[in-house]
């Protein structure tokens, strides 16, 4: 019996007609369904199973049936929410486009007061990793917050660039995507991974031993075997913005023109199927029920 898996697609910028793939049911949600705003840039799921969505005018919490919306304070939510994550304390943390951080404590939105040592650093992304909060900045590298301890790591500590584009926590590894390549972070140390000053990477996924997929903003999808980088020309998109693996080992690729599914065959070859044609998909989430 074929298991029917639900694919939840939140289209960025434009709405379009859903196309049903053979083994997947697709449902599109927008403002008419209760979503606070239709430009969704960030997704996460908390420990209770709620899905949180960051938009241009607030955040929505989805329980599978209905949306609970938060749109105050307006000074914070007038900017796009670009990252949203549950913290170690079960609060929901969120970052807006101009680098302001806040959290929802179950009752209201509270602005996060950052240590003075960050100075004028502009935050571009954040992740929770090994009981630490990691902040990626526009020009000042990363800051590690652990209680009252603050550690800054930049190019002098091994970062390929102090301009941080994304932070990506996957399979107990924290990837630091910089303007000049991808580093690893472990135990307050920056480790080399892959340096490249000509390609702007967006995301990374390890799908097998020493086999990785890199997404890029302008050059599509790349394979990396730990040494060599090779572009995959089967992905019909210049912009690849997110890559996730589900519980059945399907690999999902979010692109500027849709959603692809990749299956790795017994010979290690990648079989690519387009599952959703759309204008722009920015981020993916595999929830606890293996829905996308």
> Can you give the pTM of this predicted structure?
0.90
Rounded Cα distance, 172 and 25, in Å: 31
- Sheet order of strands, 51-54 included: 42-45, 51-54, 59-62, 67-70
Number of H helices, E strands in the chain: 1, 26
- Indicate the average pLDDT of the chain: 89
Instruction: Set out the domains of the chain in order of their start, with CATH numbers.
Output: 5-211 (2.130.10.10)
Dihedral class, residue 141 (left if φ above 0, else alpha if ψ from -120 to 50, else beta): left
Rounded Cα distance, 127 and 46, in Å: 14
Rounded Cα distance, 245 and 207, in Å: 8
Q: Find all residues with CB under 8 Å of 273, minimum gap 6, and list them.
A: 21, 260, 261, 262, 263
| Higher pLDDT among residues 138 and 238, named by residue | 138
- Are the C-beta atoms of residues 154 and 140 closer than 8 Å to each other? yes
Q: Is 141 helix (H, G, I), strand (E, B) or coil?
A: coil
Q: What is the dihedral of CA 196, 200, 205, 210, to 10 degrees?
A: -10
Question: Is residue 9 very low, low, confident or very high in pLDDT (cuts 50, 70, 90)?
Answer: very low
**Residue pLDDT, tens place only, 84-94:** 999 999 999 99
Lowest mean pLDDT among 47-51, 107-111, 184-188, 236-240: 236-240
Q: What is the arithmetic mean of pLDDT over 7-24?
A: 42
């Amino acid at each position: 019996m074929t298991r029917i898996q639900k694919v939840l697609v939140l289209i960025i910028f434009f709405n379009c007609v859903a196309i049903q793939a053979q083994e997947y049911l697709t449902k599109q949600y927008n403002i008419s369904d209760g979503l606070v705003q239709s430009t969704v840039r960030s997704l996460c799921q908390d420990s209770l199973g709620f899905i949180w969505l960051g938009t241009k005018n607030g955040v929505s919490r989805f329980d599978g049936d209905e949306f609970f919306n938060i749109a105050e304070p307006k000074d914070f939510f007038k900017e796009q929410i670009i990252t949203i994550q549950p913290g170690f304390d079960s609060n929901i943390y969120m970052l807006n486009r101009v680098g302001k951080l806040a959290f929802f404590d179950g009752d209201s939105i509270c602005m996060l007061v950052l240590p003075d040592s960050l100075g004028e650093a502009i935050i571009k992304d954040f992740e929770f990793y090994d009981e630490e909060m990691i902040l990626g900045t526009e020009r000042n590298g990363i800051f590690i917050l652990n209680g009252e301890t603050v550690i800054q790591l930049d190019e002098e500590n091994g970062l390929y660039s102090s301009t941080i584009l994304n932070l990506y926590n996957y399979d107990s590894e924290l990837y630091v995507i910089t303007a000049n390549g991808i580093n690893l972070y472990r135990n307050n140390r920056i480790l080399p991974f892959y340096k490249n000053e000509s390609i702007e990477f967006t995301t990374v996924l390890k799908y097998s031993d020493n086999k990785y997929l890199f997404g890029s903003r302008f050059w599509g999808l790349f394979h990396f075997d730990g040494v060599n980088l090779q572009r995959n020309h089967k992905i019909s998109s210049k912009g690849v913005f997110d890559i996730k693996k589900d519980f059945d080992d399907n690999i999902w690729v979010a692109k500027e023109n849709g959603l692809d599914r990749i299956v790795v065959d017994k010979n290690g070859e990648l079989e690519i199927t387009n599952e959703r044609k759309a204008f722009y998909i920015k981020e993916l989430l595999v929830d606890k029920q293996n829905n996308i």
